[in-house]
Amino acid sequence: MRPINPRGTWTLFLREIRRFLKVKMQTIVTPALTAMLYLVIFRYAMGDRDVPGMEIDYFTFLVPGLAIMAMMQNAFANTSSSMIMGKVMGMQIYLLMAPLSAIEVVTAFLAAAVVRAMIVATVFLAVLMPFVDISLQHLGLILLYGVAASLIMGGLGLISGMWAENFDNVAMVTNFVIMPLTFLSGVFYSVKQLPELWQQINAFNPFFYLTDGFRYGFLGIGDTDPFASVTIVLGSVAVTFVLCWYLWHIGWRMKD
C-alpha cells in the first residue's frame, strides 16, 4: 500500500493554482467581465420588472445565478484544460508515475478548481455589490452549494480531460453538454415560468438544484427547498469524486 503523500498533493495543488494565476486576465478577469456583460444586457432588456411569482426584481434575481454559472464553467475549465494540455504536451505520463495515489491526485485537482471558482465569484460579486441590493441570508448554503457545484464541475472537467484526445473534444463537451445544462438550470429565469412538462424534465437536471440552492442562500427565495436538495447535491458530489478516483486509478485513456 502506497504511503500517504501530503507534500506531493500540496505541490500538485499549488501547481494548478499557479497555472491559472499566471494567466489571470484570461482565467479570472475575463469570466467576471463576461458575467457582468450579461447583467448589463439583461438589466436594460428587462428594466424594473419583477420575476413572476417572486417579489423580487429581475436584476437582483439574476446576480446569484450568474455568479454560480461563472463558478461552474470555470471549475470545469480548470481541470479539463489542465488535463488536455498535459496530454497534448506529453506530460501526463509523469503525473501517472509520480508517488501520488489516485485520491491524492483527484483531491489536488478538485481543490484547485474550487479555488479558481471561488476567486471568480468573489471578484464578480465584489464589483456588483455597490450597485445591487443583495444580502447573505444563508451563508452556509452559499458555501455548501458553491463548493459542491465547483467540485462536481471540476470532476466533470477532469473526466472530460481524461476522455478527450484534443482541445476540440473538450470544446464539444463544453458546448453540447455543459453550456445547455447550465443555461437550462434557472440562471436566467424562475423554473416556475416553464410549462409543467419542462418543469418535470428540469427536475432531472442536477445543475438546477445547485443554482437554486445557491440563489436561496443570497435571497431567501427559490423554486425548491434547498435544505431538502442537500441530499441530491452531496450524493452528486460523492458519485463524481468516486468516478474520478476510479478512472484515474485504472489510468482510463491516459496510457494510450
Q: What is the pLDDT of residues 202-227, one digit of tens each?
A: 888 889 999 999 999 999 988 889 99
According to the model, what pLDDT value does residue 47 have? 66
Give the containing element (helix H, strand E) for 39: helix 30-46
- Map out the domains of the chain as residue ranges: 6-249
In the block, cell 424562475 appears at 190
Q: Of 86, 95, 244, nearest to 167 (Cα)? A: 86
Kindly state the average pLDDT of the residues 17-27.
Answer: 89
Spatial contact of 85 and 161, defined as CB atoms under 8 Å apart: no
Share of the chain above pLDDT 90, in %: 53
Kindly state the average pLDDT of the residues 28-35.
Answer: 81
Q: pTM (2 decimals)?
A: 0.92
- Cα 233 to Cα 164: distance, rounded to the nearest angstrom: 26
Q: Which pLDDT band, with edges at 50, 70 and 90, does 3 fall under?
A: low
Q: Does the pLDDT at position 132 exceed 80?
A: no
- Cα 199 to Cα 204: distance, rounded to the nearest angstrom: 9
Backbone angles phi, psi at 220, to 5 degrees: 75, 15
Q: Does the pLDDT at position 1 exceed 70?
A: no
Give the containing element (helix H, strand E) for 153: helix 139-163
Q: Of 182, 193, 194, 221, nearest to 34 (Cα)? A: 182
Burial class (CB in 10 A: 0-12, 13-18, 19+), 215: buried
Q: What is the pLDDT of residues 134-145, one digit of tens each?
A: 788 899 999 999
Q: Does the pLDDT at position 30 exceed 80?
A: yes
Q: Among 40-44, 106-110, 154-158, name the one with the lowest average pLDDT.
A: 40-44
Mean pLDDT of the chain: 89
Partners of 50 in beta bridges: 57
Residue 50 DSSP symbol? B
Residue 176 DSSP symbol? I
